[in-house]
Amino acid sequence: MCKSPMRGKFTAQNFMERNILMRIVVTILLCTFLIITGCAGKKGIQNIDYELEFEKGKKALSKKKYIRAQNHFNTVVIGASHTELGDDALFFLGESHYLTKEYLLAIAEYDRLIRRMPFSPYVERTRYRICQAYLIMSPKFFNDQTYSEKALEKLQEFIDDYPNSDNRLKAQEDILILREKLSQKAYESGVLYMKMEEYSAAILAFKQVIKLYYDTDFIELAHMKTIACHIYRSDFDEARTYYNEKRADIEKIKMDDLVDQWFVQKRVFDRIELQ
């Protein structure tokens, strides 16, 4: 797989990730502190009504008081750890982060629930929430597509594990949208390599489109650009062989007459010159 020339060294997304990771670390340190101090004051913790705290958290969540809800759920998660109530609180703690658009924090809490209580009644909803979080963080095609790839992976796993889910059709639609975006990313990388006259790298990028995203709108264009790359390299025999194999694809986008002329004139040019 070729490395995209459009990947930046440092982006706003990197800054956001570092900021959220710092918050996760602070949360973990706070939880550790509370556990330690809780051991010292065990009597006080045992006197907490965790069911009441849980209900207060749900009430705050329903009123969109998300920070207050997080405080209540955190109390339950820490004090009632490894109980059914504590595991349920993990789901709602994740929800409180999700609804404040703190998606990485939400995913961290959802993952904790899945690991600790794989048979929880909230697991299916949690798995789909993780998919939704990565989808929301998936940027436009010209940016780094790590979250898009993660969303695609999680959606496919969700469909495999929950084939009868009410969210199955929506998950399938989202998969198609993500594949189209990733295909465009690879295709545009190839086009950029062509502008840089790096034709070997461009061919590799177009191969990625053809091999991985064969069901997207960029497949025929990738074939056409591959032919163009061979001609730019004066490798006319390779270009002709490839064209003969993929002519049907070029005909689908009604570009066969243009490509025919490329071979006649032994150069690549736009359709405007053909008219």
R_g of the chain, CA atoms, integer Å: 26
Q: Per the domain annotation, does 180 fall within a domain?
A: no
pLDDT of res. 249: 97
**Residues 151-187 pLDDT 10s:** 999 999 999 999 999 999 999 999 999 999 999 999 9
The rounded distance, in Å, linking the Cα atoms of 95 and 129 is 9
Average pLDDT estimate for 8-20: 56
**Residues 130-160 pLDDT 10s:** 999 999 999 999 999 999 999 999 999 999 9
If residue 106 lies in a helix (H) or strand (E), which one and from where to where?
A: helix 103-116
Range of the domain at 114: 50-135
- pLDDT exceeds cutoff 80 at 6: no
- pLDDT exceeds cutoff 70 at 2: no
Average pLDDT estimate for 189-215: 97
Q: Per the domain annotation, does 106 fall within a domain?
A: yes
Q: Per the domain annotation, does 59 fall within a domain?
A: yes
DSSP 24: H
Q: Per the domain annotation, does 44 fall within a domain?
A: no
4-7: long-range contacts, CB 8 A cutoff, minimum separation 24: 4/185, 4/186, 4/189, 5/189, 5/192, 5/193, 5/196, 6/142, 6/188, 6/189, 6/192, 7/144
Q: What DSSP line would sit under 235-264, residue for residue?
A: -HHHHHHHHHHHHHHHHHTT-HHHHHHHHH
CATH number of the domain enclosing 122: 1.25.40.10
pLDDT of res. 239: 98
Strands (E), 167-227: none
In this prediction, residue 192 has a pLDDT band, given cuts at 50, 70 and 90, of: very high
- pLDDT exceeds cutoff 70 at 94: yes
Average pLDDT estimate for 26-38: 54
pLDDT of res. 43: 40
Q: Per the domain annotation, does 185 fall within a domain?
A: no
Considering only CA atoms, which of 99, 163, 92 is closest in space to residue 122?
A: 92
pLDDT of res. 24: 64
The rounded distance, in Å, linking the Cα atoms of 44 and 124 is 35
In the chain, % of residues over pLDDT 90: 77
Q: Per the domain annotation, does 83 fall within a domain?
A: yes
In this prediction, residue 15 has a pLDDT band, given cuts at 50, 70 and 90, of: low
Q: What DSSP line would sit under 52-92, residue for residue?
A: HHHHHHHHHHHTT-HHHHHHHHHHHHHHTTTSHHHHHHHHH
Q: Per the domain annotation, does 210 fall within a domain?
A: no
Considering only CA atoms, which of 193, 197, 196 is closest in space to residue 207?
A: 193
Q: Per the domain annotation, does 222 fall within a domain?
A: no
Average pLDDT estimate for 114-133: 95
- Average pLDDT of the chain to the nearest whole number: 89
Average pLDDT estimate for 22-45: 53
Count of domains observed in the chain? 1
In the chain, % of residues over pLDDT 70: 83
- pLDDT exceeds cutoff 90 at 20: no
DSSP 3: P
- pLDDT exceeds cutoff 70 at 63: yes
How far apart, in Å, are the Cα atoms of 118 and each of 123, 126, 131?
7, 10, 17
How far apart, in Å, are the Cα atoms of 239 and each of 12, 143, 225, 230, 266?
41, 31, 10, 5, 11
